[in-house]
A and B are shown apart, each in its own frame.
Chain A
Amino acid sequence: MSTKDLSYVRRDMIAPEPPPISTKTIGGWLRTNLLATPKDVVLTILALALLALALPGIINWLFVQASWFGADRSVCATVVQGGIRPDGWKGACWAFVGDRFQQFMFGRYPLEERWRVILVGIMLIVLLVPLLMPKLPYKALNAVLLFLVYPVVSFFLLHGNVLGLDRVETPLWGGMMVTLILSFVGIAVSFPVGILLALGRRSPMPVLRTFCILFIEIIRGVPLVMVLFMANVMLPLFLPTGWSIDNFLRAVVGVSLFASAYMAEVIRGGLQAIPKGQGEGADSLGLSYWQKTRLIILPQAIKLVIPGIVNTFIGLFKDTSLVAIIGMFDLLNIIRLNFTDTTWITPMTPLTGLVFAGLIYWIFCFSMSRYSAFMERHLDTGHKR
Chain B
Amino acid sequence: MTDHAINAPATKQASASLIYDPKVRSIFYQVLTVVIILVAGLWIAHNVSSNLARSNTATGFGFLAGRSGFDIGQSLISYTSDSTYGRAIVVGFLNTLMVAVTGIFTATIVGFIIGIGRLSKNWLIAKLCTVYVEIFRNIPPLLVIFFWYSGVLAVLPQPRDAINLPFSTFLSNRGLTFPATIWGAGAWMLPIAIIVAIVIAVVFRKWSMTRQMATGQQLPNGWISAAIIIGVPLLFFFAIGAPLTFDFPVEGRFNLSGGANIRPEFVALYLALSLYTAAFIAEIIRAGIRGVGKGQTEAAAALGVQPSKITRLVVVPQAFRIIIPPLTSQYLNLTKNSSLGVAIGFPELFSTGSTSLNQTGQAIEMITIMLTIYLSISIATSLFMNWFNAKMALVER
Contacts and interface: CB of A to CB of B under 8 A. Distances in A.
Interface stretch (B130-138, B206-214, B253-261): B130-138
A222 B369 CA distance: 12
Contacts of A318: 138-141
Contact of B339 (A36, A226, A351): A226
B147 A358 contact: yes
B25 to A, nearest CB: 10
Contact of B142 (A48, A208, A283, A322): A322
Given A43-B122, A207-B33, A324 B142 contact: yes
A218 B371 contact: yes
Given A230-B367, A321-B142, A347-B155, A34 B150 contact: no
Interface stretch (B47-55, B187-195, B197-205, B314-322): B47-55
A380 B229 CA distance: 52
A175 B367 CA distance: 29
A238 B48 contact: yes
B138 A218 contact: no
Chain A interface SS verdict (over half): helix
A221 B367 CA distance: 14
A34 B143 contact: no
A33 B371 contact: no
Nearest to A209: B30
B230 interface: no
B336 interface: yes
A223 B336 contact: yes
A123 interface: no
Given A47-B125, A354-B150, A362 B44 contact: no
Interface residues of A, number: 58
Interface string A323-361: 011000000100010010000000100110011011001
A240 B52 CA distance: 11
Contacts of B371: 218, 222, 226
Interface in B335-359: 336-337, 339-340, 342-343, 350, 354, 357
A369 B138 contact: yes
B363 interface: yes
Interface in B20-61: 26, 29-30, 33-34, 37, 44, 47-48, 50-52, 54
Contacts of B34: 207
A234 interface: yes
Interface in A274-327: 283, 286, 314, 318-319, 321-322, 324-325
Interface stretch (B7-15, B298-306, B372-380): B372-380
Interface residues of B, number: 57
Contacts of B378: 220-222
A233 interface: yes
B308 to A, nearest CB: 12
Interface centre among B37, B120, B134, B340 (most CB of A within 10 A): B340
Interface in A208-243: 208, 211, 218, 220-226, 229-230, 233-234, 236-241
Contacts of B26: 204-205
Given A43-B125, A204-B26, A358-B143, A325 B343 contact: yes
A58 to B, nearest CB: 12
A44 interface: yes
Interface in B62-79: none
Contacts of A241: 47, 50-51, 54
A71 to B, nearest CB: 23
A237 B48 contact: yes
B102 to A, nearest CB: 18
A355 B135 CA distance: 12
A366 B138 contact: yes
Query: Chain B binding site: helix, strand, loop or mixed by DSSP?
Result: helix
A365 interface: yes
Given A226-B370, A336-B150, A366-B138, A208 B121 contact: no
Contacts of B152: 351
B134 A225 contact: no
Contacts of A211: 33, 37
A40 B121 contact: yes
A348 B228 CA distance: 51
B151 to A, nearest CB: 4
Contact of B375 (A222, A238, A239, A324): A222
Nearest to A318: B140
A206 B51 contact: no
Nearest to B27: A205
Contact of A362 (B124, B139, B141, B339): B139
A84 B272 CA distance: 33
10 contacts: A208-B29, A208-B30, A211-B37, A222-B375, A223-B339, A233-B367, A238-B47, A325-B343, A332-B143, A351-B155
Interface of A: 33-34, 36, 40, 43-44, 47-48, 50-51, 204-208, 211, 218, 220-226, 229-230, 233-234, 236-241, 283, 286, 314, 318-319, 321-322, 324-325, 332, 336, 339, 347, 350-351, 354-355, 357-358, 361-362, 365-366, 369
Smallest CB-CB A-B distances: 4 pairs:
A365-B138, A33-B123, A221-B378, A223-B336
Given A223-B374, A350-B151, 18 more contacts: A205-B29, A207-B34, A222-B371, A222-B378, A224-B336, A229-B350, A229-B354, A233-B363, A237-B52, A237-B364, A241-B54, A314-B138, A336-B150, A350-B146, A358-B143, A358-B147, A361-B140, A369-B138
